[in-house]
Structure 1
């Protein structure tokens, strides 16, 4: 009996009298017995031998050996950036079942079976990979948005007295056509190596490149910050340091160039420049008016013509000095004459003939009130408001700071009394509101206290807060208005003088929408004891008469919140539970 070796196996084939007993049919049956349903011997996938394995075992072997590599994150190179993304998130998967099927057993026909018996050639099969294109496109959209690099022009900035170059950046984004990116992803995934996939991108070049940025630094920015520039004015030298200049200097793009821009108006307003300029040249001064013993407004001091440096003149003087060296960084600045608004001659033409109104507010004596009310009245006294101009409390009095002569006092904040600089000046605001009210001029901006204060007229009172609430009125009388303000330890009085247009009669309605106060507890030292008072609405009005005939009337409605009862406890004492909700936030000051 002859023996035939078939791919490492032995098949015993009986031979009698030189004739093959089983013939080809026997060989076929033997091949089926030995290789049927198995992967052909010599079959490999990426060097992994799956020959002779059943499909299930071959798939398990590929999952074990290839699965981790194909599941690893894929490195993506987008311009200069490298990102990693999960293969599954990109819609990429390894199909080991299809890979084994492709490897196959080679078929079950006689030719295929007999061929496997008598051949031993090696066969390498590529893995089968799948791509969900919709999922891949969605993932690429997200990656593109997250990695997009916006184009940025080269820039020059000025900070802390130094010039700094900001390098340009080329804009980079994924190419809008995703087909090539999908093909590159699929090919890279099939390779299953660690090399980044270089995705196609679109680039946008900056208009201001590195060369232009360097030129701007060398030719302007660095010389500008190399030292102070010095202005000469009326025999004085006024240095302007780089630390002052940098806040008013920038370089802007014009086409593909950077050009210097000086904010001359801002530089002129900078205290480091404004103060020495003001000291070098006299400002214009209006004629000073006053009220004589007969109640007539007259000139008490003459006007003075002044001079000023305009923003244009300052810019024209400073710009050429910025790139100079040595003596070339010093230059003169021009001035122009400024005439006063009111002169002794023009005062007679202002139409200030009589008293339009007078109003007095009394207040309890307290050192902070005497100081703050007196200082505000001092700043207001002598104001002249020409026809069509607006008078502003905040502009006239300024911020209530210690440097301006104000002290800490009591004001209303968050629905209760508290301490703050300038507390008490609302007595002056209320006095002015009523003087304006009875003079018949037009209110522009005003606001009442959050809760009612008994010493003020209901609905005819005003408060002010720097930066948030002003008291403003328009002189629509047709003639100039002169303001006289004076105070003592317990009262403040404001009188307005001009040419009377109307006789004003005040009206007042009943309290409505009455609401009872609650109780609250505060903590010392900021807490101030507060007595309770109901909240309510009230409407007041004024009737305008000419020659005894009513020509118009207008109403003002004010809403007052309840004034809660407030008791104060030491800072280390436990605060009791509130008896009622806190009052709505109010507007300073008392």
Structure 2
């Protein structure tokens, strides 16, 4: 025990000194090595930027900050400056990043690349690293420019929603393709550009506050374009519905004519005619066709052949013998196709293809004439109520125009309470309606115009209604007096401005019989007299006004003889049993008929 204690005590002070000495030596060695490594590291790293430092592939190792900024400017990658490809919906376009406020700040990037620390640990650590550093570029962002650039893109690529539609015009199917509405979200699009621009969003970016970047080259070369966010509005009627409608209805509907049959007769309606009366409506996003059967029935391409195809009723033709009404030719029934029947026949054929499949029957109904030998007396058409004849100088245009008006008026049946209209019955005086140019009063003098001479018929009808005792509703006299007409008892008409109308207040139907020759026109009213007689009593001419003299020019000018103007009143006196029961007074003012000579215009 003692020995052990003695040995331990003897070793104590000397041993501690040995350990301390060894530790000091070791520390000195480490310090010497570290110092050498630090010096070596400082030599390897250079003054500013370490060797092996790259920014987007550009080597700036061993350069000073200013030298690095110059190199980054001259050797800038394409992704920093080339146009960025952006996609808006299905459209792709290019956007200059600089115009959009996106650029790389080379000075700030060089500053970022400079060695962040000179402490021994960092310097020595880099001696044992791989020898390369990749630095993200610092991006400068101008929000105002970015928004302006995005708005410019929006102006070009935003579009309103377009509903799909189908119409029929001139025998063709006209398709309006459906189109999605598209509106660029400007705020989110700016964010997308910032995120996609190379290096955007590095936390050390100068004042940018950007998020982590999407990587180098996101908008250049063969990389995918930057998808800018858009709000899409879908049309109610989409393209699929348009395609369905065209396939199922439009194409077969206009694939050829439709043929209708009845009683061995055939009526062919061309596809171009069908198209004029097809309509398309939209309900709940679905296109639905409809046929305007009433319009189709009125269409000349259908109405004319259909009239021959079916044959309308023929009214009885009446005459007068010994003051009594007689039937000169009996009426006969006809057959007609109603608008509903036409629609029911045509509609199912529209979705068929081929001549045989597009042929089908149409229902007809028998139509009775209003006037027959059996019902003439029962209707109360028993006697001649009035008749009047006007004579006129022969002229080819008068023969044609008066004859055509008479043809259209003859056989008119006016029911009790109905108003008969000259213009509605005769129609517009055009060449298509059978009229030619003739002489008539226009602007206070004779001129050539379509339908000249028809006023002779109007005057004859007016006197027939005057003496039949029925109520005039509208009539007007000529502006100046024409000698062959009874003063104060004559009428003229003008299409669209002046009509001759009367109401049948006799209590029974009135049949109008009209005829003409080359020099006269006669109109008779057949029915039942309400008064035994109707007489005309003319007063004196007053307010006599002398004519003037004028010269006319132009091809339409007509020579005109002078005649004084005047006022006149005519009484219509109603009598029963020879006793006056009522009296009406009609006043007429005639302007002077100036003397007109025609001068040829110099050319």
Q: Does residue 458 of structure 1 match 2:468?
A: no
- TM-superposed CA distance for 1:240, in Å, is 1.1
- Secondary structure of 2:375's aligned partner: helix
CA contact (8 A) 2:267 2:309 kept: no
- TM-superposed CA distance for 1:405, in Å, is 4.8
CA contact (8 A) 1:296 1:354 kept: yes
Distance 1:572 1:364 in 2: 32
> After the TM superposition, which residues 488-499 of structure 1 pair with which residues of structure 2 at under 5 Å, given as runs?
488-499=517-528
> Which residue of 2 is the match for residue 309 of structure 1?
337
- TM-superposed CA distance for 1:260, in Å, is 0.8
> Which residue of 2 is the match for residue 195 of structure 1?
none
> After the TM superposition, which residues 170-189 of structure 1 pair with which residues of structure 2 at under 5 Å, given as runs?
none
Distance 2:390 2:249 in 1: 61
Q: Does residue 219 of structure 1 match 2:248?
A: yes
- Secondary structure of 2:301's aligned partner: helix
* Deviation digits for residues 143-185 of structure 1 (CA, Å, limit 9, x no counterpart): x9xx99876532211122111112346678999xxx999x99x
Q: Which moved further from structure 2: 161-170 or 508-517?
A: 508-517
CA contact (8 A) 1:162 1:222 kept: no
- TM-superposed CA distance for 1:527, in Å, is 1.7
> After the TM superposition, which residues 13-412 of structure 1 pair with which residues of structure 2 at under 5 Å, given as runs?
153-168=163-178, 206-292=235-321, 294-326=322-354, 327-402=356-431, 405-412=434-441
Distance 2:520 2:246 in 1: 63
- Secondary structure of 1:384's aligned partner: strand
CA contact (8 A) 2:571 2:584 kept: yes
Distance 1:563 1:382 in 2: 36
CA contact (8 A) 1:290 1:382 kept: no
Report which of the two structures shows the higher radius of gyration computed on alpha carbons.
2
- TM-superposed CA distance for 1:489, in Å, is 3.7
- TM-superposed CA distance for 1:126, in Å, is 12
> Which residue of 1 is the match for residue 68 of structure 2?
none
Which ranges in structure 2 are unaligned for 5 or more consecutive residues? 1-87, 94-139, 145-150, 192-207, 209-228
Structure 1 residues 346 and 148, CA, compared in 2 at 3 Å: closer, same or farther?
farther
- TM-superposed CA distance for 1:548, in Å, is 5.2
> Which residue of 2 is the match for residue 424 of structure 1?
453
Distance 1:172 1:540 in 2: 77
CA contact (8 A) 1:234 1:281 kept: no
- Secondary structure of 2:374's aligned partner: helix
- Secondary structure of 2:281's aligned partner: strand
Distance 2:460 2:184 in 1: 69
Distance 2:569 2:166 in 1: 59
CA contact (8 A) 1:281 1:306 kept: yes
- Secondary structure of 1:221's aligned partner: helix
> Which residue of 2 is the match for residue 90 of structure 1?
none
> Which residue of 2 is the match for residue 522 of structure 1?
552
- TM-superposed CA distance for 1:466, in Å, is 3.9
Distance 2:366 2:184 in 1: 62
> Which residue of 1 is the match for residue 478 of structure 2?
449
Distance 1:552 1:279 in 2: 49
- TM-superposed CA distance for 1:426, in Å, is 0.8
Distance 1:371 1:443 in 2: 27
> Which residue of 1 is the match for residue 511 of structure 2?
482
* Deviation digits for residues 395-447 of structure 1 (CA, Å, limit 9, x no counterpart): 44344445655443212234332223331011011110111122111223333
* Deviation digits for residues 315-349 of structure 1 (CA, Å, limit 9, x no counterpart): 10101111102221111111011111112111121
Distance 2:296 2:588 in 1: 44
2:462 maps to which of 414, 425, 433: 433
CA contact (8 A) 2:281 2:288 kept: yes
Q: Does residue 570 of structure 1 match 2:603?
A: no
Distance 1:433 1:223 in 2: 56
How large is the Cα RMSD of the aligned pairs?
A: 5.1
TM-score scaled by length of structure 1: 0.63
TM-score scaled by length of structure 2: 0.62
